[in-house]
Structure 1
């Protein structure tokens, strides 16, 4: 009970900088390490050859979709749990947590079965060429099956963070990622397993993260028991989970679609361009996952204080989060702008075309990444406040509403450059839209604050 009170205090009364660091820093570190092991995966596989690097680039969207299933229930539940805790309704919050975790496992298993049955045509659809396909099948066959652990892990990450236990999330992701970094070179090179070795290393690392979360449940450190009998599929609970979870899932699906469309356009220019864009995607995921990790700490603070009508504290959390994420994004963006060739060169043994095109794309993405923190704070904020319509729209802007028309149209007139610069152009447009929506939101919050003060007088 004492531990539970500490978590509630962190969400509702601790100084905002302390609360954001306590909640966001552990998750941010965990996601940073996760992003690093994605890069390490690409680094070691890149040493095998361009087609092998292309294989993991083609399979990457499948991972994004699977993560989306965890976010469907995890992020949807986390937003509702934070608001319920703000209303001091722990019993219902526990039901939401149990419902989310078991729902994600069932849906995840069904999805994986379907993908495995259709794996070959799915990989073709994702952009696998004849030279890439054998490696893509070898990698994805293990990667997809083992991803049930990742569905569980992503769901738990969101739920555990929503109750204020961000350090547990960090430990789960950290141990899994470090193990993957150690096992990658052993399975790929020492055991001579190639891309299959990379997928086995990833599977084992995800299992370890799962064991950490299972240990957390049985240690009874959580506010929730996660018992099957607590599952409640009432209209109220499922609608609250899904109204936030579905937009999040759509965001992940659009991310996968964006990568797929990029790969499909890149097939016209050969394996080197596919591999180069794959390297850029993984590098950008390093920065974006660090921001997402920090925002995971901001999300329950925003939801809790909105639920408890503490609008001054909510405003301070928003302002601080924007400042901190923007500083980080500008610094990392400048690194990508000034050192793109040195960075991209690490993912190939000397493919000149890969380095040339990858460097162009990375430099352009570095400029647009400077706005990523601002955009992410507000796309998350709307969902944290239960505003599914606005949050869903903003979440779809960057990788969907803005990106899809650009990647389909601009390459027709601009050729390969249209592929390299499509994402940065979409990012700039999405950030502008976020700015207009932010202005409207703050006006609404100001009115709610005035009404809240009036009702107390």
Structure 2
């Protein structure tokens, strides 16, 4: 079966292959995004202070999620290349080491963040009014972040083998469990006490804990893609070294996003609690609006990694350009849809008129740049898939710290929130152009080198 999947990625029709890999990911991502979106909806029913508190948590929670994403990228890239080049014997130990590595690194990061919860959120602009709610939520969420590590990296192992359906099912079930538990634990029912904002974090922790058991059984027993035991230190060190080489720069690149988000959140906080609440709603709607991009960022890398291992550059170029066209067309449709539904969405997530106005302003402007942002995300994941993690890291630095933060800050100073939101669009446009030109030059260079080597 592994061989068949590998051959499909190396020889199958490119549009059909990517469609078959991406469609399950889209449905899985819809459910995964409900984690933050459902939390936001039910917490918004508690009040504006609670909604602002959970809005402050997004950059921090996404920092830990980004570490998981980075390690998953490294895992998928290494295993995918081995499969593409016909060297599958190392995949099992690599997968085992990657999962162990994710638990250790995420556990350390979550513990440090827990210790410094108050200083971190104070620096972001959290007030005495919102800080108790932030502490209640994050105290539990840090534990769920550790639980999240195993399913995310485990799903990367499955995707590297060409299976995107099973990871989608796991994400969907996890999202469903979270959605069911959220109202029960936040508001209480019968003997179940009302935990308030803390209940949202407990629901997430329980959902991912169930997924941990599921994915470990699937990988170790049913599929036998990992060792059914802990690796000794030497084996662990050897297995995780390749993952770290790609995973750490990838994680660093992904973690820059919430760091930049925290800086922008601090800028938004200068406009008041209502603006932070609206920004938090918009950020979570952005995750759902960009689900096709996120799904492609998970399904495209295994395809590229295997074809990279097989030195099939024409297939890499065709797949990359196809995904760019799909992303631009889809995100324009999403923008039109969000503009039409802006008033309804604002009414769902906020009762105060000023918060609704801020949400509508966000939806009229920021989603216009989601297509450009998608090009950057897919180019970044393509670099990682082709074992160029430093290029991905440099691209992220350019996007966030040379374009995004400076332009957003300038826009905010000149035109207030209106300028801040337009700054997001302009920054994404500039970085998309850089991303596309950079990757095209890489393709031309490697294709030329491949032709020369074949002639020689």
Alignment TM-score, normalising by the size of structure 2:
0.92
1:54-89 CA distances to partner (integer Å, 9 max, x unpaired)? Answer: 111111112111112212322112112111111111
- Which of 156, 174, 177 is the matching residue for 1:176? 174
CA distance 1:83–1:231, change in 2 (3 Å): farther
The aligned residue for residue 394 of structure 1 is 395
Q: Which moved more, 1:106-115 or 1:214-223?
A: 214-223
**2:119 is the alignment partner of 1:121:** yes
Pick the aligned partner of 1:75 from 70, 73, 76: 73
Cα deviation, residue 170, structure 1? 0.8
- The 5-angstrom pairing of residues 264-303 of structure 1 reads 264-303=266-305
Residue aligning to 1:316: 318
CA distance in 2 between partners of 1:389 and 1:239 (Å): 16
CA distance in 2, matches of 1:448, 1:226: 42
Instruction: Give 2:95's aligned residue.
Output: 97
Cα offset, 1:51, TM superposition: 0.7
Paired position in structure 2 for 1:63: 61
Question: In the alignment, which residue of structure 2 is the partner of 1:345?
Answer: 347
Instruction: Go from structure 1 to structure 2 and tell me whether the alpha carbon gap of 1:436 and 1:317 turns closer, same or farther (over 3 Å shift).
Output: closer
Deviations 1:88-107 (A, max 9, x none): 11122223222211111111
Instruction: Summarize deviations over 1:415-455 as a string: whole Å, max 9, x none.
Output: 33333333222111111211221331231132134135425
1:172-251 equivalence runs, <5 A: 172-190=170-188, 191-225=193-227, 227-229=229-231, 240-251=242-253
Are the counterparts in 2 of residues 329 and 372 from structure 1 also a CA contact under 8 Å? Answer: no
On the 8 A contact 1:79/1:162 being kept in 2, the answer is yes
Residue 19 (structure 1) aligned to one of 17, 20, 26: 17
Structure-1-length-normalised TM-score: 0.92
Deviation at 1:178, TM superposition (A): 0.8
Structure 1 residues 47 and 234, CA gap change in structure 2 (3 angstroms): closer
Unpaired runs of 5+ residues, structure 1, are: none
- For the 8 Å contact 2:136–2:197, the answer to whether it is kept is yes
Distance 2:138 2:374 in 1: 32
Which of residues 152, 155, 158 is equivalent to 1:154?
152
Displacement of 1:329: 1.5
Shift of 1:242: 2.9
Distance apart, 1:239 and its partner CA: 5.3
Could you say if the C-alpha distance between residues 183 and 236 of structure 1 is closer, same or farther in structure 2, counting changes exceeding 3 Å? closer
- Which residue number in structure 1 is paired with residue 425 of structure 2? 424
- The aligned residue for residue 445 of structure 1 is 446
Structure-1 residue corresponding to 2:374: 373
RMSD: 2.2
C-alpha spacing 1:233/1:451, structure 2 compared with 1 (3 Å): farther
3-state DSSP of counterpart to 2:290: helix
Distance 1:30 1:399, change over 3 A: farther
- Is 1:357–1:420's contact at 8 Å kept on the other side of the alignment? no
SS, match of residue 193 in structure 1: coil
Q: Following superposition, which runs of at least 4 residues in structure 1 exceed 4 angstroms of deviation?
A: 230-239
Say which of 315, 325, 328 aligns to 1:326. 328
Contact 1:326 1:370 in 2 (8 A): yes
Deviation at 1:389, TM superposition (A): 2.6
Kept in 2, the 8 Å contact 1:187–1:193? The answer is: yes
Contact 1:94 1:226 in 2 (8 A): no
What's the CA shift string for 1:273-305, capped at 9, x where partnerless? 000000010000112343122221111111111
In the other structure, the counterpart of 1:36 is 34
Shift of 1:337: 3.2
**Structure 2 CA distance, aligned partners of 1:259 and 1:143?**
19
In structure 1, what is the Cα distance between the partners aligned to 2:386 and 2:121?
37
Question: Could you tell me how far apart the structure 1 residues matched to 2:403 and 2:254 are?
Answer: 15
Unpaired stretches in structure 2, ≥5 consecutive residues: none
Partner of 2:141: 143
Whether 1:306 aligns to 2:308 is yes
Q: Which residue of 2 aligns with 1:54?
A: 52
Q: Relative to 1, partners in 2 of residues 1:268 and 1:311: Cα closer, same or farther, differing over 3 Å?
A: closer
Report deviation, 1:109. Answer: 1.6
The answer on whether the counterparts of 2:76 and 2:157 sit within 8 Å (CA) in structure 1 is yes
| Matched length | 452
Structure-2 separation of matches of 1:266 and 1:328:
28
Alignment of 1:3-14 (within 5 A): 3-14=1-12
Deviation at 1:236, TM superposition (A): 7.7
Instruction: Tell me if the contact between 2:25 and 2:164 (Cα under 8 Å) persists in the aligned partners.
Output: yes
What is the CA deviation profile of residues 160-180 of structure 1, one whole-angstrom value per residue up to 9, with x for unaligned ones?
A: 211212122111101000111
Moved more, 239-248 or 170-179: 239-248
